[in-house]
Structure 1
Amino acid sequence: MNRQAFFTYLTETDPRLFAGGMTAAQRAGLEVKLDVWARWYAADHPVTYLAAALGQIHRETGGRMEPVLEAFAPDRATSAERLQKAFDAGRLSWVKSPYWLTDETGRHPVGGGDIQLTHRRNYVNAEEKLRQRFGVSVGLAEDYDLILDPVVSAHVAFSGMIEGWFRPCKLGDFCTADGLDYAAARDIVNGDAGLIGAEIARNCQIFEAALKTAGADIDFGPPQGPVDWPSPERRTHFTRIALYFQRLAGGRG
Structure 2
Amino acid sequence: MNEAAFFDAVRVQPFRGALSQSQVDGLNAILAAFDKFQALIKDRRWKAYMLATVFHETAFTMQPVREIGEGRGKPYGEVYYGRGYVQLTWSANYAKAQAELANVGITVSLLNQPDAALIPEIAAPIMILGMINGWFTGKRLSDFFSPVIDDWVGARRIINGEDRAELIAGYGIDFNTALVKAL
TM over 0.5: yes
Q: CA deviation at 1:171?
A: 0.9
> Where in structure 2 are the equivalents of 1:132-147 lying within 5 Å?
132=103, 134-147=104-117
1:21 and 1:135 map into 2 onto residues whose CA distance is 36
Tell whether the 8 Å contact from 2:46 to 2:145 is kept in structure 1 after alignment: no
Match of 1:202 among 165, 170, 176: 170
Show the counterpart of 2:15: 18
Q: Quickly say closer, same or farther: Cα 1:186–1:67, change in 2 above 3 A.
A: same
2:118 and 2:40 map into 1 onto residues whose CA distance is 26
Q: Which runs of 4+ in 1 moved over 6 A?
A: none
Given the alignment of the two structures, is residue 116 of structure 1 paired with residue 77 of structure 2, yes or no?
no
Tell whether the 8 Å contact from 2:14 to 2:175 is kept in structure 1 after alignment: no
Q: How many residues align?
A: 183
Tell whether the 8 Å contact from 1:79 to 1:110 is kept in structure 2 after alignment: yes
RMSD between superposed Cα atoms in Å: 1.8
- Larger deviation: 154-163 or 42-51? 42-51
Q: CA deviation at 1:69?
A: 0.2
1:44 and 1:114 map into 2 onto residues whose CA distance is 18
Show the counterpart of 1:181: 151
Show the counterpart of 1:240: none
> Which protein shows a greater Rg?
1
Q: Quickly say closer, same or farther: Cα 1:148–1:9, change in 2 above 3 A.
A: same
1:166 and 1:10 map into 2 onto residues whose CA distance is 27
Show the counterpart of 2:128: 158
* Percent of aligned pairs sharing the same letter: 31
SS at match of 2:47: helix
Show the counterpart of 2:3: 3
1:58 and 1:136 map into 2 onto residues whose CA distance is 24
1:55 and 1:136 map into 2 onto residues whose CA distance is 25
Tell whether the 8 Å contact from 1:170 to 1:188 is kept in structure 2 after alignment: yes
Q: CA deviation at 1:79?
A: 2.5
Q: Quickly say closer, same or farther: Cα 1:44–1:19, change in 2 above 3 A.
A: closer
Tell whether the 8 Å contact from 2:140 to 2:158 is kept in structure 1 after alignment: yes
Question: Over residues 139-187 of structure 1, what are the superposed CA-to-partner deviations in whole Å (9 max), with x where a residue is unaligned?
Answer: 1121000001101100000110001111111111113555431210110
> Where in structure 2 are the equivalents of 1:85-124 lying within 5 Å?
98-99=74-75, 101-102=77-78, 108-124=79-95
Tell whether the 8 Å contact from 1:99 to 1:110 is kept in structure 2 after alignment: no
Q: CA deviation at 1:19?
A: 2.0
Match of 2:70 among 65, 68, 79: 79
